[in-house]
Chains A and B, each alone.
Chain A
Amino acid sequence: GIQVEQSPPDLILQEGANSTLRCNFSDSVNNLQWFHQNPWGQLINLFYIPSGTKQNGRLSATTVATERYSLLYISSSQTTDSGVYFCAVVPIKAAGNKLTFGGGTRVLVKP
């Protein structure tokens, strides 16, 4: 099956810092989502971005489908940005909407 690798696995930031999270995937996809999982376990949709660039406030994401990677940018980080960030994909060859998740990047933003 498709492999999804996220880096770095852990990230510690000072409040106000910027950061970039990366997601590499091993096959062509037609669905890529970024999620933030808060400390209570809720998975919050950040972006649906199988290709191109999107921005939402302090967050933005870019997916280069031809090179099989996606980047999530966090600017001016806040303590509420702490949690785990997951990238999840559906390969083009898949039957149905089976999301495969990467291992996640655990982010801690210190005040």
Chain B
Amino acid sequence: DTEVTQTPKHLVMGMTNKKSLKCEQHMGHRAMYWYKQKAKKPPELMFVYSYEKLSINESVPSRFSPECPNSSLLNLHLHALQPEDSALYLCASSHPRETSTDTQYFGPGTRLTVL
């Protein structure tokens, strides 16, 4: 089973709201990733967690706050977002850890709209 799940599928939020995106995998993967994809553009890496520790932060603004509470779960906490943050947010995982030769598997994404 190579399934990564993400909730919610769609999210609309105001600039003063606080919300969270959730990602879950039960494949025993120990590396998990957040990507952001704007319309008609390729995905861009935001964060990487390896063994539940943040290993890569691609200079993402602090209004995005990742969290990895356990090996199966990855959250992205959102606060004070801007309309330009509207995008498709994709989660991925890879096995067994964050090495460059591991295949990444992606979830279906959360489509976020910031009003």
Interface residues of A (CB under 8 A from B): 30-31, 33, 35, 40-45, 48, 50, 86, 88, 90, 92, 94-99, 101-104
**B interface size (C-beta, 8 A):** 28
28 contacts between A and B (CB under 8 A): A30-B100, A30-B101, A31-B100, A31-B101, A31-B102, A33-B104, A41-B37, A41-B108, A41-B111, A42-B109, A43-B106, A45-B103, A48-B103, A50-B101, A86-B42, A86-B43, A92-B100, A96-B48, A96-B56, A97-B31, A97-B48, A97-B98, A98-B45, A98-B48, A98-B100, A101-B43, A101-B44, A103-B41
* Complex-state Cα separation, A31 to B99, whole angstroms: 10
C-alpha spacing A20/B45, complex, angstroms:
27
* Interface hits, B85-115 → A, CB 8 Å: 88, 90, 94, 98-106, 108-109, 111
